[in-house]
Amino acid sequence: MCSIEDVPNEVDVKIKSITKKCIKCKSTPTILIRHSTYCKQCFQHAFVGKFRKNMDKLRSVNSKGEKVMVGFSGGPSSSRAMLQLLSDYNEVLPNEISKKPLFSEVLVCHIDESSIFGLDDSDDHDVILSQVEQVAQNYNYSFIGLQIDDIYSPDYTSNGSYNKVLEVTFDKSKQQDIDELHAKICQQETSTKKKLQSLLDGVSKFTAKEDLAWHLKQCLLINTARKNGCTKLLLGDCSTRLSIKIISLTSKGRGFSLPLETSGLNSSFGDVTIVRPMKDMLSKEIGIYNKFQGFEATIISSLTSMMPPKSSIDRLTEEFIVKLERDFPSTVSTISRTAAKLTPPEFIDSDNRCIICLMPYQKDDKIWQSRITVMTTPSSSTIVKIQNSTSENSIINSSTCSGAATCCSSDCCTSKDLNICSLTDFLCYACRINMRDINSITLPPYVSEDVQKRSGRENLKKSIEEYFLNDDD
Amino acid sequence: MKLQEKVIQLRKLNLELDFWLDHLEPNLVAAYRSEIDEDFWGRIVKIDRVFGSGGGDNYVTEWSISFFPYDSKRSSLSSNRLELEDIPYGIVSVPFKTDKGFKRNTMVRLCVICNKERAIVKRPKTGQQVCRECFYYVFETEIHNTITDNKLFKKGDKVAIAASGGKDSTVLAYVMKLLNQRYQYGLDLFLLSIDEGITGYRDDSLETVKRNQQQYELPLKIVSYSELYGWSMDQIVKEVGLKNNCTFCGVFRRQALDRGAVILDVDHIVTGHNADDIAETILMNILRGDIARLPRCTEICTTGDGSIQRSKPFKYTYEKEIVMYAYFKKLDYFSTECVYSPNAYRGHVRTFIKDLESIRPSAIIDIIHSGEAFEVKEGVKLPIQGVCKRCGYMSSNELCKACMLLEGLNRGLPKLGIGKNFKQKE
């Protein structure tokens, strides 16, 4: 297929004479960012300016001294630069009596993910952790060090003591109905580490593994911020990282929640607002800044570090964008600008939030999916179920689930396992796709708590459904 | 020797299996005695093509076949040879272990949909293993669902199928005719082809379209660039060179299709754009920051003001499945890339999508799902759709792109209207 206007405009950029000047002060430049050259001072000035601009937006919204939490990955990363920038920004010099710091207190939270790749027993591990803690202490910020498997502890549920997990199994031999999941809420007397391990071992593809790991981490961060009374959670995603995220989220079918997941200011979690003040800086700029600041490099690996590009969608997208940016230096900024023009979903309440990724989803995408990807023929046995998937399924669900749910709400059978038949109803499109790559996994209490609440509500709704007024009536 | 005893017991049962046991026993017994006939056991399965009168037949040979006493027609087997079609149905699994401890089962798989026929393809969209008939069924039904769910047509509509002779449009013509009959859409179908005037590409593919016309018994109309614009693509390339020539071709084709539709007096044009194309366009629009086209490119049906409707029934159909369908149905199509090759940037995106698809088969549908959910923020400036002063075709500028390009060509300024900084001259 031929197409029009394929070539982005940068190809026409002419290479000008080598004797370039710093675009600000006309002195000899040392740094090239996209098409502009800077000297060291002007670069740093412009870099800090981008950060201040994003922080100033917060000032107008809320001028009271708030508590804020910084998500700190620990590496020579954008979050490292962010700590420095934040400290500079929040500092009040003794002579500035009238000025108030924007934040009354800064907490630094680091989540140790090494147990995901089995590195937590290595010798370097403790050294790295103490280095990470040292960084926070250098700024006199209180440090919260967590393990990724802490999400399995009952502390991170909304009632604070819910301890049941959700066991989900997917029978791959039943290829006809690839979205059928078996799920039960149950008590597991194993360590949080073992539970996390069972999650990771039960997922066969890296794409789904990375997704789940991120959802757990995000939930852990938000809950920690909430527990510590922080109203803002600062994340260090830079524009390079965000543009990779935009393309990979699109590729994973997360277009609906994408504007939220990549926005500079996401207040969809209510009491905790996620802020990304580094969203306008390229990873190259951050690298240069960190080098000028003399920040030492600590290597924090991720799930697909050192893996070939085709090992996961995130990894492939990273490779794709980084390569493209090398040849077409406006790729990253164009992607970020495009995504910033998309509008986030409007109505978000607990009923249309995915229980795993906590993002809002569209309710009717299941029907859409079954229409455009036909899995059965009229002669095959399961046809009735698929064709009437919406109505039939709900009948099955209500008849089998209602007994258990009402029973459990009265707390008479807390020891019994609760089977959930309609788990896919509580999942967003992309999380449902992820579930195709699992065998058997254990999801943390924050998920099971929500499932129990929601299935109770669904049953309640079904019993009064006939009285609801429809627009068609 | 337990095995031999069992064989004797088996013979006593009078199952008329002697012919099979006679044939199988020596080898099995020898293997138990560790006298392994490496030549026999070394080859598990092999497909031989035997050519004889009336074409070739596929034979499966070697030891795994020795374990079948009968073929699917219930006639007994005496040799180690079996025709591919005659392998009995039912999952037959043979676990084996290689030197490296690698375990797997070889199976004759059944179609996961009907559970009767033998699966012949792995569906690119779902990874399901399905038989030929079930593949046809799901392929056609998904297109039918797309058409009916989006209410693309009304009874009595006159519909032109944009036919290039390539795989997409050939399958589209075939499927449209088939569904029109099967589900009584009541459509009047036409074939509409554009002759861009590209020697060595379009002239050959148009021959295919002409054959399709006879095969499908549909009226055909061909409109050419030289007759509409006074310029053929070969002449344009001579003028503008190989860079940007796809811009001319694309812009002109869009209009040419509409003009052809007017000549045919149809209400609707269907094009062969498939799911891969749409996913690619979504990513392209994000990458080049085309916020105006981003929500528009996922629309299944587009209408200019008053002009003819245009839709994409293959919106959710994978390119690979279209090729499969054409292959199994033995459809006559033309498969050569355009001689004026596509550009590099889109090539990167295309490769990326192919790689995504190999990681996760549903990726193409997932991208379209994302694209459909995108909504542009209020207050973002979008170009206003107007009408071209010269030709009356919809346009976001005073002059439409086609008129602009044409003027450039006619005035000997072929760069007019290309790139970012063009000025429109009065």
Helix (H) or strand (E) holding A406: helix A389-409
Taking every pair of Cα atoms in chain B, the longest distance, rounded to a whole number of angstroms, is: 101
Report residue B37's pLDDT band, with 50, 70 and 90 as the boundaries.
low
What span, in angstroms and rounded, lies between the C-alpha atoms of A231 and A66?
7
Domain ranges of chain A: 17-57, 58-92+100-163+198-352, 365-465
Residue of chain A whose alpha carbon sits nearest to that of B247: A4
Q: According to the 3-state scheme, what is the secondary structure of A353-397? A: ECCCCCCECCCCHHHHHHHHCCCCCCCCCCHHHHHCHHHHHHHHH
Across chain B, what does the average pLDDT equal?
A: 79
What span, in angstroms and rounded, lies between the C-alpha atoms of B113 and B123?
11
Token digits of residue A408: 């459990």
Question: Comparing C-alpha atoms, which of A199, A193, A188 is closest to residue A115?
Answer: A193
Number of helices (H), then strands (E), in chain B: 16, 15
Number of cross-chain residue pairs from A and B with Cβ atoms under 8 Å apart: 178
Domain ranges of chain B: 2-86, 138-381, 383-426
CA distances, A130 to each of A236, B160, B291, B332 (Å) = 21, 70, 46, 69
User: For residues B320-337, b (16+ Cβ closer than 10 Å) or e, as one string?
Assistant: bbbbbbbeebebebbeee
The residue assigned the tokens 């803002």 is A232
Determine how many CB atoms are found less than 10 A away from the CB of residue A386: 16
The string of pLDDT tens digits covering residues A287-345 is 999 999 988 766 677 777 778 889 999 999 999 999 999 988 899 999 999 999 999 88
Parallel, antiparallel, or unpaired for β A232-234 and A440-443? unpaired
User: Are B287 and A335 a contacting pair at CB < 8 A?
Assistant: yes
User: Are A1 and B343 a contacting pair at CB < 8 A?
Assistant: no
pLDDT of residue A67 exceeding 60 = yes
List chain B residues with CB under 8 Å of A12. Answer: 419-420
Where would I find the H helices in B63-201? 63-66, 132-149, 167-182
The residue assigned the tokens 């499927």 is B175
What value of ipTM does the predicted structure carry? 0.86
The string of pLDDT tens digits covering residues B341-392 is 666 788 899 999 999 999 999 999 999 999 999 999 888 887 777 778 877 7
| B136 interfacial to chain A (CB closer than 8 Å) | no
Q: Which B residues 155-174 touch A at CB under 8 Å?
A: none
Report residue B70's pLDDT band, with 50, 70 and 90 as the boundaries.
low
CATH of domain A58-92+100-163+198-352: 3.40.50.620
Determine how many CB atoms are found less than 10 A away from the CB of residue B100: 6
| Nearest-neighbour CA in chain A from B126: distance (Å) | 8
| B337 interfacial to chain A (CB closer than 8 Å) | no
What percentage of chain A carries pLDDT values higher than 70?
A: 82
**Please, what is the end-to-end C-alpha distance for chain A in angstroms?**
46
The string of pLDDT tens digits covering residues A374-428 is 887 776 544 434 434 444 343 333 333 333 333 333 343 444 677 777 888 889 9
Q: Which of the pair, B118 or A34, is modelled with greater confidence?
A: B118
Average pLDDT, stretch A224-228? 94
DSSP B149-186: HTT---TT-EEEEE--SSHHHHHHHHHHHHHHHHTT--
Q: Where are the beta strands (DSSP E) in A40-125?
A: 66-71, 103-112
The string of pLDDT tens digits covering residues A78-125 is 889 999 999 998 887 777 767 777 888 999 999 998 888 776 667 778
What span, in angstroms and rounded, lies between the C-alpha atoms of A58 and A64?
11
Coil, helix or strand for B307?
Answer: coil
Q: Can you name the residues that pair with A265 across neighbouring β-strands?
A: A275
What is the CATH T-level fold of the domain B138-381, as seen in this structure? Rossmann fold (3.40.50)
| B360 interfacial to chain A (CB closer than 8 Å) | yes
Is residue A204 within 8 Å of residue B127, measured between CB atoms? Answer: no
Who among B141, B146, B291 is closest to A338 (CB)? B291
The string of pLDDT tens digits covering residues B163-191 is 988 899 999 999 999 999 999 999 999 99
Determine which of A9, A172, A203, A250 to mutate to test the interface with B (most B C-beta atoms within 10 Å): A250
Coil, helix or strand for A114?
Answer: helix
Q: Which of the pair, B80 or A453, is modelled with greater confidence?
A: A453
pLDDT of residue B297 exceeding 80 = yes
pLDDT of residue A207 exceeding 90 = yes
